[in-house]
Amino acid sequence: MDPAFLSDPTSKEFKEWRVSNLSGTSMTEIHVVISTMVLSYWCWKCKTAASFHRSPAEFAGRGWSHFLFECAIFLAPMFLVLTDSYVLPTIAVLAAASVYFRWQIPDPPYRHDKWAPDPRAEEFKKSYVPGKVTAKPYLSIYRAEMMLLTCFCILAVDFNVFPLKFAKVETFGTSIMDLGVGSFVFSAGVVGVKAFLPRYVDGKPKTTSLSYRLKAGLWTAFPLLALGVARLVLTESVDYQKHVSEYGTHWNFFFTLGFLPIFVPLGLCVYSDLRVTSTVLLAAYQAMLSVTPLGDWLENADRTDLVSANREGILSFAGYLAIFLMGMSLGQEILPDARTFKERWMRLVSVLGVWATACISYLLLNFVLGVQPSRRFANAPYCFWVAGFNSAMIWLYMLIEEDVDSKLPPEMARAGRPKGYDMPAIVEAVNINSLTTFLVANLLTGSVNMLFETLLCGSVAAYSILAGYTLLFMLPALLMYRSGVRLR
């Protein structure tokens, strides 16, 4: 190709070249940057709990002051660390604020008879309902923060303020955006298992049939596949830039998301154990990549027909399906309500076990067998990295919630907490309408790229546009949340 396009940053060819052949950054840097998400939650949780304990009767967790605090604690750090500005100072400020607010939370009344039954445990056990799945605040906040990060990155990468080391790598390597894609699928699996949990009728568990699950899967898949087709038509009609080696010539992420609900029931019909199914699928797929010529074909083949033109999207689906199943496996452990306090604490051990298994598997594949992680292939090291990272994140969110909520009175052990105590409004709104938020973010990303020459924007203009974009993609979710409307 004529290199003349390199002198024109407004050309489609330059924009495609700019995000091609990237090598990413280290896992350590990725984990340090994203640790601000956990610190944001810790700071908000401790501040909210301290306010509640100071004056329970007057506590009001919703209002403009709370909304501004939530924006400052969840959105501002994201801006700073994802533009590679003040990463360590941001972490230091969040950690110091968290420790300060945690120190302000009073301890529960001292139990003089330590052998007497714990009133919190008794109240918790009494309120248990078999088969009930109540909202888990730590899980909702984890999913919403991952959504906010993903939506921010898909536009930020088009500006010079966003470091390209955080953008998707070409073939082998790791980056924040690579992790974001896998985390999106993993978190969808964690909550997606709810449809496969036994339903209780007259106190007895009742499982759903394969036909029912397939119908439900098709109903879920249809809007996602329709969005995939719509995105394909729109991007082709306006000659929008695209990175072909990401998913292929015609494939996009909506197609991957759309086929998951169809293939999951079919996979579980063959073997119902989620851990075994995901492991066997991933082992078979990695063996095909490593032992057969499939890996070389996937990386170097010409795009001569429909299959070869979309080979990344088609074949990486096996890896994303394994990630989804691993997420479902974890969701099966933590989503149903715990019977007792002990069982709830044991879930921390269970999640830690998932993290340890994923880490050991990654280390064996990467350091012993020499297989590098690849988001483009969605190979086994990449899938285990995604599973390990997300398990560790969920474990940290669980630990924060368990620690802070242990200061609550017994009658609030499971429920009865005031509105605004468990979840911030902006996070809850994004979580319950996550797909709507993702769709709006994609539409706004295309609109901004058509209205502005993003690569010519200075730092002030880039930050202003990104700030406006962030508020706009959250606005529909906030309005629907305020109106009591829930789509997806």
pLDDT tens sequence across 41-81? 999 999 998 888 888 777 776 677 888 888 899 999 999 99
Per the model's pLDDT, the better-predicted residue between 240 and 230 turns out to be: 230
Mean pLDDT of 104-121: 68
**N- to C-terminal Cα distance for the chain?**
43
Mean pLDDT of 368-375: 93
Dihedral through CA 390, CA 396, CA 400, CA 406, nearest 10? 100
Distance CA 392, CA 449 (A): 35
Residue 164 in contact with residue 15, Cβ under 8 Å? no
pLDDT at 112 (0 to 100): 53
245 band by pLDDT with thresholds 50, 70 and 90: confident
Mean pLDDT of 136-140: 90
Mean pLDDT of 149-161: 93
Per the model's pLDDT, the better-predicted residue between 151 and 266 turns out to be: 151
Distance CA 152, CA 142 (A): 16
Residue type for position 485: V
218 phi and psi, to 5 degrees? Answer: -65, -40
State the DSSP string of 462-487: HHHHHHHHHHHHHHHHHHHHHHT---
Residue 468 in contact with residue 154, Cβ under 8 Å? no
Residue 204: beta bridge partners? 201
Considering only 196-200, 210-214, 273-277, 335-339, which range has the smallest mean pLDDT? 196-200
1 band by pLDDT with thresholds 50, 70 and 90: very low
Q: Which of 477, 473, 475 is nearest to 488 (CA)?
A: 477
Mean pLDDT of the chain: 87
Distance CA 359, CA 383 (A): 11
Residues 6 or more apart in contact with residue 248 via CB below 8 angstroms: 303, 309, 310, 311, 312, 313, 314
pLDDT at 109 (0 to 100): 65
Mean pLDDT of 83-87: 82
Considering only 65-69, 195-199, 304-308, 430-434, which range has the smallest mean pLDDT? 195-199
Mean pLDDT of 80-108: 90
Per the model's pLDDT, the better-predicted residue between 82 and 204 turns out to be: 82
352 band by pLDDT with thresholds 50, 70 and 90: very high
Considering only 6-20, 154-168, 256-270, which range has the smallest mean pLDDT? 6-20
Mean pLDDT of 458-483: 92
Q: Is the pLDDT of residue 328 over 50?
A: yes
Residues 6 or more apart in contact with residue 279 via CB below 8 angstroms: 322
Distance CA 398, CA 347 (A): 9
Per the model's pLDDT, the better-predicted residue between 33 and 418 turns out to be: 33
pLDDT at 204 (0 to 100): 64
Distance CA 156, CA 148 (A): 12
E strands within 197-305? 199-201, 204-206
What does the block give as tokens for 197? 């949990």
Q: Is the pLDDT of residue 435 over 90?
A: no
**81 Rama sector, left if φ>0, alpha if ψ -120 to 50, beta otherwise:** alpha
Q: Is the pLDDT of residue 111 over 50?
A: yes
Residue 161 in contact with residue 479, Cβ under 8 Å? no
pTM value > 0.75: yes
pLDDT at 374 (0 to 100): 94
Residue 339 is given by DSSP the state: S
How far does Cα 317 stand from its chain's mean position?
18
Q: Which of 297, 403, 322, 359 is nearest to 46 (CA)?
A: 403
pLDDT at 2 (0 to 100): 55
Distance CA 465, CA 98 (A): 30
